[in-house]
């Protein structure tokens, strides 16, 4: 599905250091509506740090992050306005985040049942009642290939690794997000489960968010931090590689794997090892 020209996320000249050690050193990135973008790079290159700047968990030392505000009707150009995350108050940020979802590397499921995990944001962010929440939770579980009758009341600690990952994606889907962000979604999973998660990410990306379904820009945008070469091969996202705090490569998957850059080739050779590590 081709992207529109409307930006969903713009990162401008982003710098971040921890204890005086630079992690991001002038990152520029634009993600348009409807794109699937994979962010790759060696361990410690700043992938998750960049993701946390996009979600507002980190504040930049310099530079800025702009995100589309879907709470506001599109302007004359047909695009939602962009907001500088460093320049908005918490209430405005909460409204913007209503249209986002994050699938964490270690799933970040809360203690309690699957239903409680799926319900918490619907209850706290969208002020839904229990009667409204349950059918949405059941539908989200069905969308990720789980039987609600068997899983809905199951405790988090009774889930296998693959089931927990599916529940984490269902928790994202239940929010009907316009922008969904994944932090190493297949890390540590066996090859068969990885293939299932790949297909789930594809289907999720191709879904149309109901919240903006009456608008021309009703495409879902996906940003995936990953080491998974098979995910790249099967989903063919735009690939952005971070290296030494900057973007070393930004382009189609085919160009990424066919190039002979002296810093890309060694990374390609070790990607399967990095992705096999337990999440």
Burial of 57 (0-12, 13-18, 19+ CB in 10 A): exposed
Average pLDDT on 256-269 reads: 88
Does the pLDDT of residue 267 top 50, yes or no?
A: yes
* pLDDT confidence of residue 202: 92
Give 173-199 pLDDT, tens digit per residue.
888 899 999 998 888 788 888 888 899
* pLDDT confidence of residue 98: 87
Does the pLDDT of residue 277 top 80, yes or no?
A: no
Does the pLDDT of residue 69 top 90, yes or no?
A: yes
272 contacts: CB under 8 Å, gap ≥ 6: 227, 229
Q: Which domains does the chain have, with CATH numbers?
A: 7-276 (3.40.50.300)
Report how far residue 53's alpha carbon sits from residue 49's, in angstroms, rounded to the nearest whole number.
6
Give 197-216 pLDDT, tens digit per residue.
899 899 889 987 765 555 55
* pLDDT confidence of residue 3: 43
Q: Which residue has the higher pLDDT, 26 or 123?
A: 26
* pLDDT confidence of residue 89: 92
* Weakest-pLDDT range from 6-15, 170-179, 269-278: 269-278
* pLDDT confidence of residue 215: 55
* Weakest-pLDDT range from 39-43, 190-194, 240-244: 190-194
Q: Place 269 in a pLDDT band, splitting at 50, 70 and 90.
A: confident
221 contacts: CB under 8 Å, gap ≥ 6: 8, 9, 31, 32, 33, 34, 35, 36, 178, 179, 180
Average pLDDT on 76-80 reads: 80
Report how far residue 101's alpha carbon sits from residue 92's, in angstroms, rounded to the nearest whole number.
17
Does the pLDDT of residue 276 top 80, yes or no?
A: no
Average pLDDT on 73-93 reads: 88
* pLDDT confidence of residue 254: 93
């Amino acid at each position: 599905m081709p992207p529109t020209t409307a930006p969903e996320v713009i990162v401008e000249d982003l710098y971040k250091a921890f204890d005086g050690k630079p992690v991001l050193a002038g990152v520029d990135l634009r993600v348009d509506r409807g794109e699937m973008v994979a962010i790759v790079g060696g361990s410690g290159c700043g992938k998750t740090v960049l993701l946390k700047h996009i979600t507002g968990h980190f504040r930049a030392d310099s530079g800025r992050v702009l995100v589309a505000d879907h709470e506001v009707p599109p302007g004359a150009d047909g695009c939602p306005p962009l907001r500088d995350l460093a320049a908005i108050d918490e209430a405005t940020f909460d409204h913007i985040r209503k249209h986002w979802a994050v699938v964490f590397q270690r799933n970040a499921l809360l203690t309690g049942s699957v239903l409680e995990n799926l319900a918490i944001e619907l209850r706290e962010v969208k002020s839904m009642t229990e009667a409204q929440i349950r059918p949405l939770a059941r539908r989200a579980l069905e969308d990720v290939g789980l039987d609600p009758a068997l899983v809905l009341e199951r405790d988090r600690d009774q889930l296998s690794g693959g089931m927990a990952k599916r529940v984490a994606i269902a928790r994202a889907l239940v929010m009907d997000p316009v922008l969904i962000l994944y932090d190493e979604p297949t890390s540590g999973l066996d090859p068969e489960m990885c293939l299932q998660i790949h297909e789930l990410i594809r289907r999720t990306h191709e879904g149309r968010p109901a919240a903006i379904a009456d608008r021309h820009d009703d495409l879902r945008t996906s940003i995936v931090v990953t080491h998974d070469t098979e995910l790249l091969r099967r989903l063919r996202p735009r690939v952005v590689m971070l290296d030494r705090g900057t973007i070393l490569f930004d382009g189609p998957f085919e160009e990424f794997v066919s190039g002979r850059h002296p810093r890309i080739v060694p990374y390609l050779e070790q990607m399967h090892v990095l992705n096999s590590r337990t999440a």
